[in-house]
Structure 1
């Protein structure tokens, strides 16, 4: 299997660095081919701007989505963007690894998404009609591929429990897992989360590493999070709201899970 790890931590000798190195070694030992996009080591440019296209803006001023669309369609994207898109095409599985900073991914990883997910590549694709609303949320360029988050956080597991003060971890990660990954078509695996990272001794690190190894061994077989697919009848189009008979009276993130899957 071809596996891409998109890694966002500035310190190679951190817990994240050790886990990333372990993942690469473990996956390669199992016969997988691994590429790593180490964003800090690459000095990845996070902001999206006019330099992301080798051509001049198509209008009187820079328009992020329209210029992204033109650059992608005409082969004039910045080379760093095109290289990362090639990695995504190559990969069977993508792992996003990062520390949870202020309830989201580090800015450098968000910038990777902003720039690499070009209009026409990851969004803005497919038919928009009364029957379909684009190739997204279960369809799209990443269909048939798998993705998983490897996340570290200083908070305790109880802080991210259903009644924890930070909110349930599935809710905290919903914009990334459902939006960034499910939107362009990935089958999204349950995340691997390491809590209370400031309390990490050798014995606990060995346990974490063993648990991560087990998750890596089952990348191809773990059941994905059962997100509903947009164009398969659960949502009214073009309103894109759930049909009244589905999860009646309920709202929130959980209604976008199909318990029958």
Structure 2
């Protein structure tokens, strides 16, 4: 490895969620890990189904919570996080997130969102006091709790790509994934990139899979050079005290979720 390559070496966490190890999701996960390692990066993979990840938040997540006591999830989460008393599985995943320079979430698009097991990974790992809360920096911006990391969604969808277009019946993919891109990544300070998607995933011919691998390789190669989605910072002067975008901050004709993107230029 050359000195230049060594300086560019990054640490990447890939979190993947599919119950079938022979699935397209699994194949893309393996491809991403191999491709990134071949480029000289360090890669860790959290395969949630293989790990038999516990998806639900409950009192068992907080060992010091009194038996029979009312569970205030945010409060219990913050106390356990700040005291270093989270369960070992959660603590291990938080260590991986802290270790990483980038996080890639690889999953099939189920009911217009991520599989429940992956949502449960976020629910449990992005605890109060770790990813959000009064004891960490304010959300929606580069100074938030998990700032300094890139984030990429890599999704597979059974539908054709045109169904996820501006006039497609499913809506734009950017809008479908907005709760993750903006509400998870950007909320916690991570810089989300435009998502990567493979459509027609239920019956993908070999030549289409080969093309998908090539396209994915290009996105992985640009993981640290592509411009992230230009979301507005909460503390950037564009929002009022009620967290509403100030009148006139948007370009004429802008509406919907695009209001929360910085205007070009």
Per the normalisation by structure 1, the TM-score is 0.94
Point out 4+ residue stretches in structure 1 off by more than 3 angstroms.
57-60, 248-251
Q: Secondary structure at the match of 2:203?
A: coil
- Unaligned residue ranges in structure 1 (runs of 5+): 128-133
Residue of structure 2 in register with 1:130 after alignment: none
Structure 1 position 23 matched with structure 2 position 32:
yes
Name the CA distance, whole Å, in 2 between partners of 1:258 and 1:99.
29
Q: Secondary structure at the match of 1:41?
A: helix
Residue of structure 2 in register with 1:131 after alignment: none
Structure 1 position 119 matched with structure 2 position 123:
no
Contact residue 192 and residue 229 of structure 2 kept, 8 A? yes
Q: Secondary structure at the match of 2:105?
A: strand
Contact residue 58 and residue 67 of structure 1 kept, 8 A? no
CA RMSD for the aligned pairs? Answer: 1.6
Contact residue 57 and residue 67 of structure 1 kept, 8 A? no
Residue of structure 1 in register with 2:101 after alignment: 92
Q: Secondary structure at the match of 2:153?
A: strand
Contact residue 129 and residue 135 of structure 2 kept, 8 A? no
Residue of structure 1 in register with 2:139 after alignment: 136
37, 48, 67: which is aligned to 1:39? 48
Q: Secondary structure at the match of 1:228?
A: coil
- Unaligned residue ranges in structure 2 (runs of 5+): 1-9
Structure 1 position 157 matched with structure 2 position 133:
no
Per the normalisation by structure 2, the TM-score is 0.92
The count of aligned residue pairs is 254
- Deviation readout 1:203-241 (Å, 9 max, x if unpaired): 11110001101111111100000000100101112x000
Listed as ranges, the matches of 1:1-261 within 5 Å are 1-57=10-66, 60-125=69-134, 135-138=138-141, 139-237=143-241, 239-247=242-250, 250-260=254-264
Q: 1:83 to 1:7 in 2, by over 3 A?
A: same
Q: 1:58 to 1:119 in 2, by over 3 A?
A: farther
Contact residue 57 and residue 63 of structure 1 kept, 8 A? no
Contact residue 122 and residue 184 of structure 1 kept, 8 A? yes
